[in-house]
A and B are shown apart, each in its own frame.
Chain A
């Protein structure tokens, strides 16, 4: 595909999906101005590296990857980013299960480590395939699956697929 054509496709995609992109950014930073900054910067990055996108089929994955990385950069700068090892979360989740009678779902979601929350969000809110999520996060498919199940378990949501 010619560059200018790809550029047009990208532009149309950006305009069409701006709200999804904003929501994702917002889910990270929980702050309007910052989420807007992330959207803006992601667009700049995407436009200036559109050459690196060879196939329009991967446009969505490619853009989400930029969006996620930009969001993470912002969190990192704020010192808010904490990774949780898979095992640590498992243990935590077991220990806490009993106190969930008065279950505040959204609160539990917000408390999930971002790398777990993101997978749930991409899978169920943005309807991305697990393979696409793996590509966005640069993780292997099994890791993504494990995190998804662990995250859902912590939220006590039954899987259907």
Chain B
């Protein structure tokens, strides 16, 4: 039975991820919390999860088709445009990649424009190279499924503000989605960063507290929503990062975005919070961008 011992050893050698304990406890906690809230029977988890996943997919698909449509039309009113400059595609049976590279055109600040465009190109070339490498490795190992979908959406495009969101959906195994944003002031031709909007660092706590309150409120109103926010939760959401993903909506509100798994279970997908401007009034440098 030496062979069986070898196989058993291989089986037991599978690395146990650090997150396992967390995921298990989280599942147990979540259930308890739901029971306390007084639902009479077992929750219909499966249907809730399925619906949430469906919404995520629909959103992503919709976004990519919007992005595609936009890539053919000059989108930004007068001068500044976002174009699709490059597209990588792999379409084999079990390997699919679609990587669309955006580029900004028409900014007078060429330095800013070039730095953005070089960043976009470098990001996507890297993504594509990594994907190709993984495919090669997987083929050598006997094959499998691998997919990546990357592109961009114009989140906001007003006379003043351009917010470009770039997403990567990794469809290997359970899909992971990440969103990154750049927000440009078209009039002053500058890139807006999150810290640059505020007088000092107190915005981190102010925004974090507001998000936590919103999370709790949403969970209260909808039993299907889960955020990792309760004290005592392992790795509960505490604070946003100083350079947390954000964009400015067309109504000039600040939107904070979290990647899948960042503050909530996977089925919640990418989550966004609009921060009420009143909450920020004390710390905003001005109301120029955010009203």
* Interface of A toward B, CB cutoff 8 Å: 11, 14-15, 18-19, 22-23, 26-27, 29-34, 36-37, 39-41, 43-45, 47-51, 78, 80, 105-107, 109-111, 120-121, 124-125, 155-158, 160
Contact = CB atoms under 8 A, between A and B. Distances in A.
B23 A40 contact: yes
A152 to B, nearest CB: 8
9 tightest A-B CB contacts, nearest first: A48-B42, A31-B173, A34-B173, A43-B27, A44-B45, A47-B31, A34-B174, A33-B174, A18-B24
A124 B45 contact: no
Interface stretch (B4-12, B72-80, B99-107, B110-118): B4-12
Contacts of B17: 22, 32, 36
Interface string B202-213: 000000000000
Contacts of A110: 142
A19 B16 contact: yes
Contact of B3 (A19, A40, A155): A155
Interface residues of B, number: 39
B51 interface: no
Interface in B62-98: none
Contact of B24 (A33, A43, A49, A106): A43
Contacts of B43: 44, 48
Contacts of A37: 174, 266
Contacts of A43: 24, 27-28, 31
B230 interface: no
A101 B42 CA distance: 54
Contact of B45 (A29, A48, A106): A48
B137 interface: no
A41 B266 CA distance: 11
Contacts of A18: 20-21, 24
Q: Is the interface of A mostly helix, strand, loop or mixed?
A: helix
Nearest to B49: A41
A15 B24 contact: yes
Contacts of A124: 4, 7-8
A36 B10 CA distance: 19
A107 B27 contact: no
Interface in B1-41: 1, 3-4, 6-8, 10-12, 14, 16-17, 19-21, 23-28, 30-31, 41
Given A45-B45, A110-B142, 15 more contacts: A22-B14, A22-B17, A26-B14, A27-B11, A33-B176, A37-B174, A40-B26, A40-B27, A43-B31, A44-B43, A50-B42, A80-B145, A106-B6, A107-B142, A111-B142
18 contacts: A22-B17, A23-B16, A31-B172, A33-B173, A36-B19, A36-B23, A40-B26, A41-B45, A41-B46, A47-B31, A48-B42, A48-B43, A49-B42, A105-B6, A105-B7, A124-B7, A157-B1, A157-B3
